[in-house]
Amino acid sequence: MKKVLIGYESRKGHTEKMANYIAEGARVAGNEVEVKALRDLKSEDDIKGYDAYLFGCPTYHRDMTNSMKTFLFLADKAGLEGKIGGAFGSYTHSGDAPKLILDTMENVFHMNATNLGSFNLLEDKIETDDGMRACQQYGRAVTE
């Protein structure tokens, strides 16, 4: 069993829903999962101690949010090298943020980024059966 942290930023609630569906999938895979908003992760000690990390935020103007950028500087201090990593986010038109997050996890933090790549989902698909299932499958696959 892995201990998993899912940290997310959500402005309209879409990415938060994704985080919770992803957590369901990770739990089905037999993991202990904590889902936390970035605003609740205030120090590197809040980030340390997990086996796997999934970070998510929506895409705004073809980029991740400023709060995610600030959080990634904090996460860099937590010593995540070699840990399992995945990234996700919601979008309306471009969906660039999850890839940027995953690239940071892999190339800056030297984490074992999932070979599934990043996961993004159109906002209007999140609460559909297919959207929920896709989130759950991502969470399960990253943490198995």
Q: Which two tokens stand for residue 61?
A: 């103007």
pLDDT of 105: 97
pLDDT of 17: 98
Could you report the per-residue pLDDT of 84-142, keeping only the tens digit for each? 999 999 999 889 999 999 999 999 999 999 989 999 999 999 999 999 999 999 999 99
pLDDT of 55: 98
- φ, ψ (nearest 5 deg) of residue 126: -60, -45
pLDDT of 59: 95
Kindly state which CATH superfamily the domain 3-56+66-143 is placed in.
Flavodoxin domain (3.40.50.360)
- Model confidence at 16, pLDDT cuts 50, 70, 90, reads very high
Give how far the C-alpha of residue 74 lies from the chain's centroid of Cα atoms, to the nearest Å: 15
Could you report the per-residue pLDDT of 26-78, keeping only the tens digit for each? 999 999 999 999 999 999 999 999 999 999 999 999 999 999 999 999 999 99
The secondary structure of the chain as a DSSP string is --EEEEEE--SSSHHHHHHHHHHHHHHHTT-EEEEEEGGG--SHHHH-S-SEEEEE---BTTB--HHHHHHHHHHHTT--TT-EEEEEEEESS---HHHHHHHHHHHTS--EE-TT--EEEEGGGTTSHHHHHHHHHHHHHHH-
